[in-house]
Amino acid sequence: MNHADHVALLRNGAPTFEGIWADLGAGSGAFTLALADLLDGRGQIVAVDKDRSALAENQRQMSAHFPKAHVEYRAADFTRDLDLPPLDGVVMANSLHFHRHKAPILDRVRAMLKLGGRFILVEYNVDHGNMWVPHPLSFETWKALSEQYGFTETRLLHVYPSRFLHEIYSAGSITDNSRAG
C-alpha cells in the first residue's frame, strides 16, 4: 500500500476532516500522514504509540511530507487513560487486532470522542488471525459489535486487497454516548 491507498481508506470517514483527531497505534505514521493530508491544516492530530522509535519515524515522515501539520506525539498505551481533550475523530488502523478483549478499548475510544465524533477502524476483513494479526474482526463482526459500544451508522468505507488475510477494510462510525452499554 502507498500513501494514496491509506488516504482512500480514511477519505469517506467524515463529511469534513477538521478539529482534533487521534491516531491510536500510530506506529511509523502511514495513517497519521493520510490523516494530515485529509485535515489539510484544518485541525490537529495526536499520534499515540507505545513504540518511541516508531513515533520518531512518524515525526520524521510528517516533517518531510506535511511540515505545517499540527501533530502531538505521545509515547503511551492507548488501552490506558490518555488525558486527551474531547476528540472530533479517532483512527485505529491495524491496532485493535492486537487485543483479544476489545470491550475496554472500545469503551475508552467512545469516551474520548465528542457526541457525534467519528471513529474510523482499519482492519483485516476476517475473524480468524495468525501470529502477526492475532485478533482481527471482519466488517460484519465490527458492525454488530459497534452498536453494543455506543457507535452508530457503521458503514463500510473502502476495501483494499491484501496478500495477507484476503483484504483490509475501513469502516466509519459515529459516537452516540447515550447508547453505550
- Write out pLDDT tens, residues 10-55: 999 988 899 999 999 999 999 999 999 999 999 999 999 999 999 9
Query: Is the model's pLDDT at 178 over the cut of 60?
Result: no
Identify the three-state secondary structure at position 37.
helix
Q: Give a yes or no: residue 137 inside a domain.
A: no
Q: Give a yes or no: residue 28 inside a domain.
A: yes
> In angstroms, rounded to a whole number, what is the distance separating the alpha carbons of residues 135 and 120?
18
Reported in sequence order, the residue ranges of the chain that DSSP labels E, i.e. its strands, are 19-24, 43-49, 70-75, 87-93, 113-124, 151-161, 167-175
Model confidence pLDDT, tens digit, residues 113-132: 999 999 999 998 877 877 78
Hunting for cell 487521534 — which residue is that? 22
Q: Give a yes or no: residue 25 inside a domain.
A: yes
Q: Give a yes or no: residue 134 inside a domain.
A: no
Please give the biggest Cα pair distance in the chain.
Answer: 43
Q: Give a yes or no: residue 162 inside a domain.
A: yes
Distance of alpha carbon 15 from its chain centroid, rounded? 16
39 burial (CB, 10 Å; 0-12 / 13-18 / 19+) is buried
Q: Give a yes or no: residue 169 inside a domain.
A: yes
89 burial (CB, 10 Å; 0-12 / 13-18 / 19+) is buried
Hunting for cell 474482526 — which residue is that? 137
Q: What are the C-alpha distances in Å from 48 to residues 24, 98, 106, 175?
A: 5, 15, 16, 20
Q: Give a yes or no: residue 32 inside a domain.
A: yes
Its domain, for residue 37, covers 3-129+143-179
**Of the candidates 27, 177, 166, 161, which has an alpha carbon nearest to the alpha carbon of residue 91?**
27
Q: Give a yes or no: residue 138 inside a domain.
A: no
Entry pTM: 0.91
Percent of the chain past pLDDT 70, that is, above it, reads 97
Query: Is the model's pLDDT at 180 over the cut of 50?
Result: no
Task: Look up the CATH number of the domain holding residue 22.
Answer: 3.40.50.150
Task: Provide the domain count of the chain.
Answer: 1
